[in-house]
Amino acid sequence: MKVIVAGAGAFGKKHLDGIKNIDGIEVAALVSRKLESTKEVADSYGIPNAFTTLEEALALPGVDAAILCTPTQMHAQQAIQCMDAGVNVQIEIPLADSWADCEAVLKKQKETGLVCMVGHTRRFNPSHQWLYKQFDKGELNLQQMDVQTYFFRRKNINAAGEPRSWTDHLLWHHAAHTVDLFQYQCGADIVQANAIQGPEHPDLGIAMDMSIQLKAANGAICTLSLSFNNDGPLGTFFRYICDNGTYIARYDDLLDGKDNVIDVSKVDVSMNGIELQDREFFSAISEGREPNSSLHGVLNCYKVLHKLEQQLGA
């Protein structure tokens, strides 16, 4: 299967690292803004083609799939462009930063019937997978999720600490992870959502602090705190409060409420959530089925984000 990857930044490289471990996948081209640096990354991964436009990559013969790791503002237009070219597409989170763009991608997916998947990696992290299996078997029932998503980003930098040309967003990007995960783990849609935010950054034009409350149809609740002002431990910390135990997840680590480590190394074929996400994408294409975290499967998350944006007056 031939895939093209658009975006040679921090997350593009994460996908390339994951794909190296998946049999039967050939990365046919890498796309990014600057040709020289794109060629350097392509050469380091043995990728034969480097381009500065998605059009060039999509014109290659036999391209089956595309993974978009480009700026958020480009996601919807590029996803539609891929599907117009008959190419299955995985869009790194978030799908878009407006409900109108989400609807446009949905319309195109319905027209083409192609696989369109969104990179909600938390569904694939072994720590969260372990808990999902317990919920699915009825061995645990989620009562409350408390989530902290904290970064120190008073300058416009990416996950690798490098300057970038676009602005990240607490609501449409970072909250999307938890809003989707909460619904997924509950097995129930969100029926109530509230949000407040702090002052906007004078240069970046985005709120740097935000608090969100969610309630699912089954009664479970979620409290999410987000900040770009946090000068301390970075990342996202999840506390699952259940009817029969408490669990704390941070990326691939899982502890119970008494700090006992839970072994999640055998939950899936890899401990790399991005790799597992990509395996699901390629398998869904090969098997002609809808993937986990398909566009349809995550769409309700973006409806909630849209409602919260309206509530915030954005």
Region 259-268 average pLDDT? 97
Q: State the pLDDT at residue 233.
A: 85
Region 259-283 average pLDDT? 97
**Fold match flag (2-121+274-294 vs 122-268+300-312):** no
Residue 156: band (very low, low, confident or very high) from pLDDT cuts 50, 70, 90: low
Whole-number Å distance between alpha carbons of 235 and 253: 13
Q: State the pLDDT at residue 160.
A: 59
Nearest of 90, 152, 158, 169 to residue 124 by alpha carbon: 90
- Residue 306 reports pLDDT greater than 60: yes
Q: State the pLDDT at residue 251.
A: 80
pLDDT in tens, 16-63: 999 999 999 999 999 999 999 999 999 999 999 999 999 999 999 999
Q: State the pLDDT at residue 187.
A: 96
Can you count the helices (H) and strands (E) in the chain? 9, 13
CB 116 within 8 A of CB 109: yes
Phi, psi values for residue 141, rounded to 5°: -125, 125
Q: State the pLDDT at residue 203.
A: 82
Region 71-89 average pLDDT? 97
Residue 314: band (very low, low, confident or very high) from pLDDT cuts 50, 70, 90: low
Nearest of 197, 221, 222, 191 to residue 211 by alpha carbon: 197
Q: State the pLDDT at residue 83.
A: 98
Q: State the pLDDT at residue 84.
A: 98
Residue 167: band (very low, low, confident or very high) from pLDDT cuts 50, 70, 90: low
Query: Do the bridges between strand 88-92 and strand 2-6 make them parallel or antiparallel, or are there none, so unpaired?
Result: unpaired
Query: Do the bridges between strand 88-92 and strand 63-68 make them parallel or antiparallel, or are there none, so unpaired?
Result: parallel
CATH number, span 122-268+300-312: 3.30.360.10
Region 191-201 average pLDDT? 95
For the chain, which residues make up each domain, given as ranges?
Answer: 2-121+274-294, 122-268+300-312
CA angle 163/120/171 to nearest 5° reads 60
- Residue 71 reports pLDDT greater than 70: yes
pLDDT in tens, 209-227: 999 999 999 999 999 999 9
Q: State the pLDDT at residue 168.
A: 76
Copy the structure tokens of residue 263: 């072994």
Cα 33 from chain centre: 22
Copy the structure tokens of residue 8: 């040679």
CA angle 74/99/15 to nearest 5° reads 40
User: Cβ neighbours of residue 37 under 8 Å, at least 6 residues apart?
Assistant: 8
Q: State the pLDDT at residue 166.
A: 52
Number of Cβ within 10 Å of residue 143's Cβ equals 14
Residue 32, CA distances (Å) to 17, 56, 68, 132 in order: 17, 11, 10, 36
- Residue 157 reports pLDDT greater than 70: no
Q: State the pLDDT at residue 155.
A: 65
Nearest of 40, 239, 214 to residue 127 by alpha carbon: 239
User: For the sheet containing 50-51, what is the strand order?
Assistant: 50-51, 26-31, 2-6, 63-68, 88-92, 116-119
pLDDT > 90 in the chain, percent: 89
Q: State the pLDDT at residue 205.
A: 82
Quickly tell me which residue has 């609501």 as its tokens.
171
Quickly tell me which residue has 């991964």 as its tokens.
45
Region 164-173 average pLDDT? 76
pLDDT in tens, 141-155: 999 999 999 988 776
For domain 2-121+274-294, the question of CATH label 3.40.50.720 is answered with: yes
- Residue 165 reports pLDDT greater than 70: no
Q: State the pLDDT at residue 252.
A: 85
